[in-house]
Every structure is written in structure tokens, then in C-alpha cells.
Structure 1
Amino acid sequence: MCCLEIKLFYRTQREMANVINKIVDEYWNNNIKEDELIQHIQTLFINNPRKIKKGDQFTTIIQQVCGKRRLEIINRILNMKK
């Protein structure tokens, strides 16, 4: 991955949202490939599920910071069969 550092565990939902934004933006800027995008998002969710979703919905902070377009992509990735 280009110059993007991704940890496995995050302390706050805001940190998580900022990392999600960076990952998706790197994908949109053609700096990472689709399979890397999918792998990173799935890994983040596996290790930090409560910081991303409460029940079936994204947390309020994730919604506010990430925005609708990014969350559509994240939702599709999280609903993929592994």
C-alpha cells in the first residue's frame, strides 16, 4: 500500500472513520487495488466491529464523518461472501 499506515485496532469511532476515509480515497485515487480495499475494510471490521456498526446500522459518527458514498462501498464490502 502506498503511504497509508493501517493499524488493526482503533481507540475511537472518529479515528476509525478517518482511516476508512483514507482507504476509500486511496482506492478512488487509484493508489491501491480493489482487492486491497476489500481486505483492509474487512480486517478493520473484524477487529473493530462495534466502532463501525451498532446492530445493522453504521454508528452516527461513522455516518457523519464518512458520508453516504463511502458507506455504500463499505456496506457492499461487509456484505460480501468470503
Structure 2
Amino acid sequence: MEVKKFYRTQREVAAVINEIVDDYWVDKLSDEELEENVTMVYENNQDKIIKNNEYTTIIKQQCGKNRLAVVSKIINIG
């Protein structure tokens, strides 16, 4: 799976987060790969993921609660 460092829009970030977490759930990614990919996307696109200390509306709508619960544990939010 190819994950870029930087994304142009919140929707692109949401799509890649969905892909990363979904691949993990179907055992295409290890725990370490999941953590590496989510951390890298978060660190390089933080402004598109978090506003006012919570997920942006687009990220919430596109990713859903279950995926964001996994992401939150990795990036230590909430």
C-alpha cells in the first residue's frame, strides 16, 4: 500500500485513513504498519485532521466512529 506524506484536501486525508484502517482490519497491514502510516499521515496533515482540538466535520463524516477510535488511540487524542 502506497501512502503519501502530504494531501491536498480533507477528503483525500479521510480516504487514506479509511484505506489504512480497513487494510488493517482485513489483515493486510501489521500493527506496526498501521501505527507508522497513521502517525505519518497525522503528523504531516494535522491541520486537515484536527481543528479546535477535535476532528474536522469532514473527517468525522467520511471516516466514522470506529475508524476514528483506532486513529485516536494511535495519536493519543480523546
TM-score bracket, normalised by the shorter chain, equals: over 0.9
TM-score by length of 1: 0.90
| Structure 1 consecutive aligned stretches of length 4 or more whose deviation exceeds 4 Å | none
Identical-residue share of aligned pairs (%): 48
Matched residue count: 77
Amino acid at match of 1:8: K
Q: Deviations over 1:30-73 (max 9, x none)?
A: 00101100111011111010111112100000000000000001
Q: Is 2:17 aligned against 1:20?
A: yes
Q: Unpaired runs of 5+ in structure 2?
A: none
Partner of 1:39: 36
Match of 1:57 in 2: 54
Q: TM-score, structure 2 length as denominator? A: 0.95
Structure 2: distance between partners of 1:38 and 1:55? 24
For the aligned residues, what is the CA RMSD?
Answer: 1.1
Question: 2:53 & 2:32 partners in 1: Cα distance?
Answer: 24
